[in-house]
Amino acid sequence: MALASNIYRLGIKELWSLARDPVMLVLIIYSFSFQVYVAATAMPEALSKVPIAVVDEDDSPLSARITSALHPPQFITPQRVTLSEVDVGLDDGLYTFSLNIPPNFQRDVLAGRAPAIQLNVDATRMSQAFTGSGYIQQIVMGEINEFVQRYRASAAPPVELALRVRFNPALTQAWFGSLMEIINNVTMLSIVLAGAALIREREHGTIEHLLVMPVTPAEIMLG
């Protein structure tokens, strides 16, 4: 009973101290309101108007087919650039992706070889980089298969997977983003508030009084 009473009284004391700290109150209100909203809505759920550059060193019907498949609304119309302009464009933020189609690409594909296409990604745009790289890979492979086979084939899966999602049936990205931001803010504020409380005690000259009180370190921490 004494443990709960000490924790309660220390907690009330900290709440009164916090009420006299307007900067910390503004930080707490901001962390659980506007910051949560920004984190939930800042990450796009799908690609939209992503800038991409194409280095077409093959200049063949297949390379033109791949370039034309990167169309709006997922991408901005691809910009043809030279190989020397790729690094500068990525560093300046002009493109998020740069697709390099090597020479003799179509000839190697038709000959049964395995030519490589280089995809450069600006990883500072994390959400677009992760989603877009997989999306571009699907587009390129789909166009190559259709070009070689003369039709776009889609094999039916042998097993149909019935997916049921609980708590967020629509898989809304904002729900995940807001929940993760709340967890991050709780963790951050737990550290910040504990440090701020200790600093306030030291500034007010009451930390020595707190240390000689008949309370344990665990009660001080919980309070």
Nearest-CA neighbor of 54 among 88, 89, 85, 78? 78
Q: Same domain, yes or no, for 36 and 58?
A: no
Task: Answer yes or no: is 99 within a domain.
Answer: yes
211 residue type, one letter: L
Structure tokens of 119? 């995809």
Task: Answer yes or no: is 206 within a domain.
Answer: yes
pTM of this prediction?
Answer: 0.57
Task: Answer yes or no: is 164 within a domain.
Answer: no
184 or 153: whose pLDDT is higher? 184
- Pairing of the two strands 79-80 and 97-101: unpaired
Domain count, the chain: 2
Distance CA 211, CA 219 (A): 11
For residue 66, pLDDT over 90 is answered with yes
Average pLDDT for 78-86 = 91
Task: Answer yes or no: is 166 within a domain.
Answer: no
Q: What is the CATH number of the domain that holds 70?
A: 3.40.1710.10
User: Given this model, what pLDDT does residue 54 score?
Assistant: 94
CB atoms within 10 A of CB 5: 10
Q: Same domain, yes or no, for 142 and 59?
A: yes
Distance CA 169, CA 149 (A): 38
3-state secondary structure of 153: coil
pLDDT tens-digit profile of 132-160? 888 899 999 989 988 888 766 556 667 77
The overall average pLDDT reported for the chain is 83
pLDDT band at 62 (very low <50, low <70, confident <90, very high): very high
Task: Answer yes or no: is 73 within a domain.
Answer: yes
Bridge partners of 98, per DSSP, are 53, 120
Cis before 102? omega within 30: no
User: Given this model, what pLDDT does residue 172 score?
Assistant: 76
Domain boundary among 87, 114, 149: 149
Domain that holds residue 22: 2-41+173-222
User: Given this model, what pLDDT does residue 118 score?
Assistant: 92
Distance CA 113, CA 115 (A): 6
